[in-house]
Amino acid sequence: MPTPLRIYHNARCSKSRSACALVAEAGVVAEVVDYLETPPSAEELRELLRKLGLKAGELLRRGEAVFVEHYAGRELSEAEAFEALRAYPILMERPIVVRGERAVVARPPERVRELF
């Protein structure tokens, strides 16, 4: 049995909804995690970043109101970016789709197919 997908999902995000729809259409088993309700732990976030091959600052959504309110005009260190993601999960780029040791930010949503 193939490793199931895990989708870090925000139902209010059209890209996230589209990625979930592509997974469902393909008949792929997926665990959907509402990361705003159940944010990743520090360890999970480190693992996500490793699997994505990204730094915390590269995963930040800088256009979000909370980013502008708390961090506008600042150059965040890697540690500060990591803590911003932990404090405000809404800042995490989405959707993130994981299968085993691989992960993608499914923007555009079709990137989810890389994990099928």
Burial per residue of 52-75, b for 16 or more beta-carbon CB atoms within 10 angstroms, e otherwise: bebebbebbeeeeeebeeebeeee
Q: What are the boundaries of each domain within the chain?
A: 5-115
Quick check: is 20 catalytic? no
Closest CA to 19 of 89, 94, 100, 90: 94
Q: What is the pLDDT of residue 1?
A: 60
For the domain with range 5-115, which CATH number is right: 3.90.76.10, 3.20.19.10, 3.40.50.800, 3.40.30.10?
A: 3.40.30.10
Closest CA to 110 of 48, 31, 26, 54: 26
Q: pLDDT 10s digit of each residue in the chain, 116 long?
A: 677 899 999 999 999 999 999 999 999 989 999 999 999 999 999 999 999 999 999 999 999 999 999 998 899 999 999 999 999 999 999 999 999 999 999 999 999 999 98
Q: What is the pLDDT of residue 4?
A: 86
Active-site entry in 12, 13, 19, 49: 13
Query: Could you give the maximum distance between any two Cα atoms of the chain, in Å?
Result: 48
